[in-house]
């Protein structure tokens, strides 16, 4: 028999005169997963916070109703407007939470045992000893290796994926009826993400809790959800079983989202084998010395890396976090000094350039970074940001010519010329990234390095930026080094692909070959971990 675990009706949140949520209704049944998907600012997190009574934004006013139904023995509880005392008995006891950032959700000063037993002692009144036994059981259940030793560890001794496992153990400590997972895998690598998704599904089968899973990633939602709510600007534009959402999207916004998601099974650019080589890197080796409180250690970030990029093609550099992929970009742009190796940009040696020639070299390689919020000076107008390279390299004479060139560059990246007088905070993430690209293009570089340049954007903004980059490459014969952790994006953009792991190359081949028949286990594991475009429910009916 199906029983509703949480039923929310007409949830509205207003802050001042602004209505952030406009009447959202949700329902999730025991043993089922509700996926909430939407882009940043759509109100996803606000929805779950309001529905669980956790919303604590200054001046926020929540109306509507949200009832935790309760299993046999526990009474239904109205969560909207409930007193702090009521909420304390529910949170942690009957509702468990897992948040996005496992790095900051754990208290760095407590051992894992203390963190897990906290809610057990509060809600179940367990003694310290029995709480310890239960904590051990939970760590084992979430698949942490050597749980008995781990109990006395501190969060910093664990990797990101292990911390998220601990967060899940804490959330499940009191056998909650409802598990809220707010972007739980967004900060994790794909392989770790796949493990966490698998873990939650398995635990859900074992414990039978209802799950509300919030994500911006339709692929992830397709893997976990039974039914899906699509949010847009604080409104639920579509609510349907997962298969219907993917196969028969009703609302145009849902269709847009589905189209914008990069697909791992899409087309691959044909290789350009006849193009001349622009950049040839051989034997690149980068070591950092990290000075800590207990002496300094050497981190070997990149080991003996060799590759080449042909003119007007894209090399996709793929790897998980700390694979050394960004270090390659830093070495090529002069931000770090390599330990060994050579790099030749159409005959010029990049690493041993003389001081006098350095500025000229910087003109030929430019960089677009990941974070569109941090890579623009918040105090400089867009026009000044784009004009900076023009000024530094004296590419335009006088203010008027600079202004004209800035307008031209903005137009090139699809922004109106009057954006020059705006500040970065007045722009959306996608617009900012366009400004970064315009700035990088101002010097008419031979090589453009894109370091996770679309990673922090919403899927629709990402799709637009990728289109723009492809178009620019065709129109201006640009050469890209495209660094990303996202295999689907790499597939779409690259002629050649290089997979890196802990500073070394795993596999380096033309994109078509690599995606068709990966040779290395690690590459296969990466590909397998990417959430497929089809929802899992189609293969695994429950």
Q: Is there binding between residue 483 and other proteins (CB under 8 A)?
A: no
Least gap, CB of 412 to other proteins (angstroms): 17
Residue with tokens 């995606």: 515
Furthest-apart CA atoms within the chain: distance in Å: 79
- Of the residues 133, 277, 392, 517, which one makes contact with other proteins according to CB under 8 A: 392
Please report whether residue 366 would count as binding other proteins according to CB under 8 A: yes
Cβ proximity to other proteins, 114 vs 439, nearer residue: 439
Nearer to other proteins, 55 or 487 (CB): 55
Cα separation of 299 and 341, whole Å? 17
Beta carbons of 441 and 357 less than 8 angstroms apart: no
C-beta atoms surrounding 368 within 10 Å = 26
Residue 237 vs 442, nearer CB to other proteins: 442
- Residue 218: its H or E element: helix 218-224
Nearer to other proteins, 248 or 379 (CB): 379
- For position 389 contacting other proteins by CB under 8 A, the verdict is yes
Q: 26 near 6, Cβ under 8 Å?
A: yes
Binding mask 405-424 for other proteins (x = CB under 8 A): ------------------x-
CB closer to other proteins out of 194 and 369: 369
Q: Identify which range of 120-128, 220-228, 238-246, 381-389 contacts other proteins by CB under 8 A.
A: 381-389
Q: Select from 45, 130, 125 the least CA-distant residue to 89.
A: 125
User: With respect to other proteins, which residue has the nearer C-beta, 12 or 363?
Assistant: 363
On whether the CB atoms of residues 29 and 40 are closer than 8 A, the answer is no
- By the rule CB under 8 A, 16 interacts with other proteins: yes
Identify the residue among 101, 140, 175, 371 touching other proteins (CB under 8 A). Answer: 371
- Cβ 447 to other proteins shortest distance, Å: 12
**Does residue 46 interact with other proteins by CB under 8 A?**
no
CB of 432 to other proteins, least distance (A): 11
Q: How far is CA 489 from CA 216, 231, 349, 447, in A?
A: 16, 24, 30, 19
- Give the Å distances, CA to CA, from 28 to 6, 176, 371, 393: 6, 14, 35, 59
- Taking the complex as a whole, the smallest distance from the CB of residue 427 to other proteins amounts, in Å, to 10
Under the binding rule (CB under 8 A), the answer on residue 208 touching other proteins is no
Residues 193, 195: Cα–Cα separation, whole Å: 5
Q: Which of 10, 71, 247, 377 binds other proteins (CB under 8 A)?
A: 377
Task: Closer to other proteins by CB, 211 or 435: give it.
Answer: 435
Calpha distance 52→4 (Å, rounded): 15
Of positions 9, 14, 311, 363, contacts other proteins by CB under 8 A: 363
Residues 435-464 that bind other proteins (CB under 8 A): 436, 439, 443
- Pick between residue 361 and residue 527 the one whose CB is nearest to other proteins: 361
Q: Does 375 bind other proteins (CB under 8 A)?
A: yes
User: Rule CB under 8 A: is residue 396 a binding residue for other proteins?
Assistant: no
Report the nearest approach of other proteins to the CB of residue 331 (Å).
Answer: 11
Q: Give 520: exposed, middle or buried? Use CB within 10 Å, 0-12, 13-18, 19+.
A: middle
**Binding residues for other proteins, total number by CB under 8 A:** 35
Q: How far is the CB of 371 from other proteins (least distance, A)?
A: 6
Find the part of the chain contacting other proteins (CB under 8 A) among 126-134, 263-271, 354-362, 482-490: 354-362
**Is residue 84 part of the contact set for other proteins (CB under 8 A)?**
no
Burial of 108 from C-beta contacts in 10 A (0-12 / 13-18 / 19+): exposed
Is 290 a residue that touches other proteins (CB under 8 A)?
no
In this structure, what token pair is assigned to residue 493? 């953009």
Which range binds other proteins by CB under 8 A, 43-51, 280-288, 368-376, 518-526?
A: 368-376
Assigned token pair, 161: 């994926």
Q: What DSSP character marks residue 301? A: E
Contact status: 118 vs other proteins (CB under 8 A): no
CA distance 436 to 52: 39
The DSSP string of 85-137 is HHHHHHBTTTEEEE-S-TTTSS-TTS-HHHHHHHHIIIII---HHHHHHHHHH
Q: How far is the CB of 444 from other proteins (least distance, A)?
A: 12
Pair of tokens at residue 372: 């569109």
Q: Which is nearer to other proteins, 122 or 384 (CB)?
A: 384
Alpha carbons within 13 angstroms on the beta-carbon side of residue 170 total: 28
- The minimum distance between CB 459 and other proteins, in angstroms, equals 22
Binding-site member from 334, 351, 502, 508 for other proteins (CB under 8 A):
334
Closest C-alpha to 411, from 472, 467, 463 = 472
CA distances 414 to 182, 373, 387, 408, 464, Å, are: 34, 19, 17, 10, 10
Looking only at the bridges linking them, the beta strands covering 314-318 and 496-501 are parallel
Tokens found for residue 468: 């723009």
Q: Per rule CB under 8 A, is residue 333 in the interface with other proteins? A: yes
Choice from 86, 122, 243, 380 touching other proteins (CB under 8 A): 380
Structure tokens at 540: 């695994």
Binding site for other proteins (CB under 8 A): 16, 58-59, 333-335, 358-359, 361-363, 365-367, 369-371, 373-380, 384, 388-389, 392-393, 423, 425, 436, 439, 443
């Amino acid at each position: 028999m199906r029983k509703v675990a949480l039923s929310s009706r007409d949830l509205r949140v207003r802050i001042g005169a602004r209505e952030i949520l406009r009447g959202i209704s949700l329902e999730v049944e025991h043993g089922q997963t509700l996926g909430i998907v939407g882009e940043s600012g759509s109100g996803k997190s606000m929805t779950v916070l309001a529905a669980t009574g956790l919303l604590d934004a200054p001046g926020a006013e929540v109306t509507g109703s949200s009832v935790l139904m309760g299993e046999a023995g526990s009474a239904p509880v109205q969560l909207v407007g409930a007193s702090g005392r009521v909420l304390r008995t529910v949170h942690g006891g009957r509702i468990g939470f897992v948040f996005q950032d496992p790095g900051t959700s754990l208290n760095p000063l407590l051992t894992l045992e203390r963190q897990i037993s906290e809610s057990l002692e509060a809600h179940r009144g367990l003694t310290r000893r029995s709480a310890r036994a239960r904590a051990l059981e939970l760590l084992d259940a979430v698949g942490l290796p050597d749980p008995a030793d781990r109990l006395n560890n501190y969060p910093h001794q664990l990797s990101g994926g292990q911390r998220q496992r601990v967060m899940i153990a804490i959330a499940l400590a009191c056998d909650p009826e409802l598990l809220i997972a707010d972007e739980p895998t967004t900060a994790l690598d794909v392989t770790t993400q796949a493990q966490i998704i698998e873990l939650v599904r398995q635990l859900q089968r074992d414990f039978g809790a209802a799950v509300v899973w919030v994500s911006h990633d339709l692929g992830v939602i397709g893997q976990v959800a039974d039914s899906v709510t699509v949010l847009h600007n604080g409104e639920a534009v579509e609510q349907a079983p997962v298969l219907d959402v993917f196969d028969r999207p009703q609302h145009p916004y849902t269709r847009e989202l589905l189209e914008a998601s990069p697909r791992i099974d899409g087309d691959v650019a044909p290789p350009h084998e006849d193009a001349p080589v622009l950049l040839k890197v051989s034997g690149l080796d980068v070591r950092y010395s990290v000075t800590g409180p207990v002496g300094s250690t050497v981190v070997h970030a990149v080991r003996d890396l060799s590759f080449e990029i042909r003119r007007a093609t894209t090399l996709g550099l793929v790897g998980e976090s700390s694979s050394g992929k960004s270090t390659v970009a830093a070495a090529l742009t002069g931000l770090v000094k390599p330990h060994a190796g050579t790099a030749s940009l159409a005959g010029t040696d990049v690493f041993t350039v003389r001081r006098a020639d350095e500025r000229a070299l910087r003109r030929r390689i430019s960089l677009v970074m990941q974070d569109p919020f941090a890579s623009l000076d918040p105090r400089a107008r867009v026009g000044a940001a784009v004009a900076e390279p023009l000024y530094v390299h004296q590419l335009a004479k006088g203010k008027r010519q600079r202004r004209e060139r800035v307008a031209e560059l903005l137009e090139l990246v699809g922004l109106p010329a009057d954006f020059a007088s705006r500040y970065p905070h007045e722009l959306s993430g996608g617009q900012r990234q366009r400004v970064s690209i315009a700035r990088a293009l101002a010097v008419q570089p031979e090589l453009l390095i894109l370091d996770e340049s679309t990673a922090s954007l919403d899927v629709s903004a990402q799709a637009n930026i990728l289109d723009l980059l492809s178009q620019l490459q065709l129109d201006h014969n640009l050469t890209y080094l495209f660094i990303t952790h996202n295999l689907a994006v790499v597939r779409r953009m690259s002629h050649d692909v290089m997979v890196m792991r802990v500073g070394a190359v795993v596999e380096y081949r033309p994109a078509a070959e690599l995606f068709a028949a990966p040779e290395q286990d690690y590459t296969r594991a990466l590909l397998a971990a990417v959430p497929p475009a089809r929802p899992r429910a189609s293969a695994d009916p429950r």
